[in-house]
Every structure is written in C-alpha cells, then in structure tokens.
Amino acid sequence: MPEPLPPITDQYQGPRPRVSVVILTLNEQVNIAACLASCRWADDVHVLDSGSTDDTVTTARALGASVWHNRFDGFGQQRNWAIDHIPLKHDWVFHLDADERFTLPLVTEIAALLAPADPPHAGFLCPNQMILLNRWIKRSSGYPAYQVRLFHKGRLRFADHGHGQRESTTGTLGTLRHPYVHHNFSKGLSDWLTRHERYSTKEAQLAWEQLHSAAAPAPLISTLLRGRGLERRRALKRLFQRVPWRGSVRFWHTLLIQRGILDGHAGVQYARLMAIYETMIALKLAELRAGHDRAHAQQEPGA
C-alpha cells in the first residue's frame, strides 16, 4: 500500500516562495502545532479561527502565527473574509486546513512556479493525500482529487457550494502535481461522523436545488466520459443524486471501480464511511421531497 509523504518541518532549504498561508481552525488543538510546523518555510502565516474553545489560539500565537477571528458561515464565506480582512503580505495565498500539512515536493514545486515571473493564472488546483489508519488511501479517496488552494488574491474568489466551496474567477486555473497531506480523521471517528452529519444536510439541500433548477446542467454522460479529473468528479457527484440505493452504489464504486480494495483494510473502512455519508444525504433528500409533497397536497383545492 502507498505510504503518505512526510510533512516538512525544517527540511526545506530552497528559496522561500512568495506565498501567504491562511489556516482555518475551530478547536484544532490536536492539529495546529503539526500544521504550523509544516509552514516554517513561509514568512507570512495566519490562523483564521471561528470560535475555538480549546488551546488552538494560544498554541498558534505561541508558535508565531498571526491569529484572526471570524464567525464561520461557510467555507467560501470564510475564505473570502480572509482575502478581504487579513493584511496578507503576498499576492499569492495558500489556504490550508488545520488537519493538513505541506510536503517538501509541494513547497519546492510552488517555489519554482512563482520564480522568477508571476504566472498568469488566477489559481492552481492542488491534490491531497488522505490518511486513514496511518495509510494513504490513494484509490479509495479517488486520488488525485483537486481543490483550488493556491491562488492570486486579486484574481479569484470563492462561493459556498454544498458543504464546501467552488472557485469563482474569470481567469484560468493551473494544476499542481504534488499533494499536501490530509489527516481527515485526526480528531477521531466521532468527530468525522459529526461533521459529515452536518455536511449531509447541506449536500441534500444542494441536491434538491439542483434537481429542481430551471438552469440546464452540463451534459452528464459526456462529462463523465470525456471530462478532466475535476469535471468528472463533479459529474459523478451529480450522478449519485439520481441513483437509487446511493449508499450501496458508493460503497461498491469505491471498492471496485476506484479499486479501493487495493488500499487494504483502511480502503474498505473508508468505503463504508462514504456509504454511510451518501445514505445520510439520500435520507435527507427524501425528507425534503416528502415535505414538498405534503405542502403541495395541502395547497390543492379540497385538501
């Protein structure tokens, strides 16, 4: 099974990329020190906290990070707040979550990318290595799964989309080859389940809105067959909105189509967790549909 890249601490000896780092936090005491250790290459590091009640803020300040506070309403909103309110030293910004870590190859790639000329792109898609049970679940997690993390603060904004965010820009997007490490289960299974129960509510609402939208969606089948990685991933998400038994479909898709079974025990466990997540979304979508049908029936004459 593939091993995750180790996070960097003091290993990086190259030129410092002209990049400001923003870390989003909420009760990340178990993660923040290791996250900041992987940011030692950067000369401008900020923590944007949304109300931690543990030692996250104290630890971040003790380790030299600037700390800012804003109530969390969504990932897109929070990332835009950072652009608008934090005095970022550099035009290029990398957003990191506290359970994520920079790696040496990624920082080396960014340094080469930004020197000597400023690239024309609005931002760069970056893959992540998801870790479960101390293993990189490469196939189960659908690697490489991309998000815009490195971007020019004057060329790109974010918009809330379901439980996450989408990039908003008229500029072009590049792609980084090397990943950051994502310890998505670092605070334990209960925390993961709590977060995804909350996420499932937003995803069900998004699915309901998309299924009843008057806007014509992008062609689904052609995107699945001919789209690029990020386009195909988003199309696959739309497909799951329409299939019955979506939890079971996700489980077998992860194990067999994505070959997650080759990730061993950790891959099987991740497939089970994602099946639970998809089932929660499906149940909440059915609840929205039932509520809509009841309201419609009550409005009919003679009801």
Dihedral of CA atoms 72, 99, 110, 41 in degrees, nearest 10, equals 100
Q: Which of 17, 151, 16, 174 is nearest to 83 (CA)?
A: 151
Residue 34 has phi, psi (to 5 degrees) of -65, -35
Q: Which CATH superfamily is domain 19-182 in?
A: Spore Coat Polysaccharide Biosynthesis Protein SpsA; Chain A (3.90.550.10)
The alpha carbon of residue 264 and the mean position of all alpha carbons in its chain are separated, in whole angstroms, by 24
- Judging by beta carbons within 10 Å of its beta carbon (0-12, 13-18, 19+), is residue 232 exposed, middle or buried? middle
pLDDT score recorded for residue 234: 62
pLDDT in tens, the chain (303 residues): 455 666 666 667 778 899 999 999 999 999 999 999 999 999 999 999 999 999 999 999 999 999 999 999 999 999 999 999 999 999 999 999 999 999 999 999 999 999 888 899 999 999 999 999 999 999 999 999 999 999 999 999 999 988 889 999 999 999 999 999 999 999 999 999 999 999 999 989 988 887 776 555 556 566 555 556 666 666 666 666 667 788 999 999 999 999 999 999 999 999 999 999 999 999 999 999 888 778 777 776 655
pLDDT score recorded for residue 231: 62
Strands 92-97 and 146-152: antiparallel
Q: Where in the chain is the domain with CATH 3.90.550.10?
A: 19-182
pLDDT score recorded for residue 299: 74
pLDDT score recorded for residue 207: 85
